[in-house]
Amino acid sequence: MKISEIHAKKKNVLSFEIFPPKKDTELSNIDATLEILCDLNPDFISVTFGAGGSSNNNKTIEIAKKIKYKYHVEPVVHLTCLTYGSQEIDDFVHVLKSEGIENILALRGDRNPNMPEKDEFKHASELITYLRKKGDFCIAGACYPECHPESENRVAELRHLKQKVDAGAEVLLSQLFFDNDYFFHFVDDCRIAGIDVPVTPGIMPVINAAQIQRMVTLCGASFPERFRKIIRKYEDNKTALFDAGMAYALSQIIDLLANDVDGIHLYTMNNPVVARKICEGIRNII
């Protein structure tokens, strides 16, 4: 089923994001993870894609197939375009069609000096336009409540996002954030800009110190003072930081749901314990 249809049918769509394990040996563990994640009854699970010709990208489709046919949950396959030409995209589309996968999260991908870029798809909107002509997929796009790091300004960012939706993105999944006010203002701005598709907030429970550092350097999400205080207080105590990070993420999610967001996209980091605890915390809410 297309995720746009799921959104049309229900409020509070719950989705998980996972990534293919790097090592082949870890691939066998993905079943144990998927078993728990799928048992939590998400509306869909999205599977990330390495930017730039990684051999891991075959695993994206393999895992998506497992999600669909073994666990009977709807998969969304991520696809980046900066390092690909139309022939490679065509090959990918061909496989998706033959495997009956209906949902694609169409992305540009991060720039990487070690990965040569090609000229055909410079922005996600170009990939979306291309995919639209290639098949009857539901296409989702990424969005950034605190602006994409390369963005000139907020207005340009919204203009480009509107282009993405006009090109055919039917659902938007957001970058993670730790301050809900950014997301609420962002959705208001989207609606003013005429972006009418579901905009789903992405939440990542921060449960260990290494993750915090990665978040700061990679996605530039700002840390509100009350979250900073929690991290400072518990960063040297693993179990306390886990509890505090989970509680913070849960409070974010409950606040988002109370404000009638279109859904919750949980960055699970392949950690089923985290997903299960979040789901238990919102069992009577969602």
3-class SS string, 68-128? HHHCCCEEEEEEECCCCCHHHHHHHHHHHHHCCCCEEEEECCCCCCCCCCCCCCCCHHHHH
User: If binding is defined by CB under 6 A, does position 148 make contact with ligand FAD?
Assistant: yes
Cα 23 from Cα 227, distance rounded (Å) = 33
Helix, strand, or coil (residue 66) = helix
User: If binding is defined by CB under 6 A, does position 35 make contact with ligand FAD?
Assistant: no
User: If binding is defined by CB under 6 A, does position 123 make contact with ligand FAD?
Assistant: yes
User: If binding is defined by CB under 6 A, does position 65 make contact with ligand FAD?
Assistant: no
Cα 267 from Cα 286, distance rounded (Å) = 17
Residue whose structure tokens are 């969602």: 286
Task: Please give the single-letter amino acid code of residue 239.
Answer: T
Question: Pick from 142, 198, 165: which is nearest to 8 by CA?
Answer: 198
Among 16, 49, 92, 182, binds ligand FAD (CB under 6 A): 49
Q: Shortest Cβ distance from residue 135 to ligand FAD (Å)?
A: 19
CB 169 within 8 A of CB 137: no
Can you name the residues that pair with 200 across neighbouring β-strands?
A: 173
Site for ligand FAD in 181-220 (CB under 6 A): 202
Q: Shortest Cβ distance from residue 165 to ligand FAD (Å)?
A: 11
User: If binding is defined by CB under 6 A, does position 107 make contact with ligand FAD?
Assistant: yes
Q: How many chain residues are in contact with ligand FAD, going by CB under 6 A? A: 25
Q: Shortest Cβ distance from residue 173 to ligand FAD (Å)?
A: 4
User: If binding is defined by CB under 6 A, does position 20 make contact with ligand FAD?
Assistant: no
Among 37, 108, 230, 278, binds ligand FAD (CB under 6 A): 108
Among 43, 74, 102, 157, binds ligand FAD (CB under 6 A): 157
Question: Looking at the annotation, which residues are catalytic?
Answer: 17
Binding residues vs ligand FAD (CB under 6 A):
48-49, 51, 78, 80, 105, 107-110, 123-125, 142, 148, 150-151, 156-157, 160, 163-164, 173, 175, 202
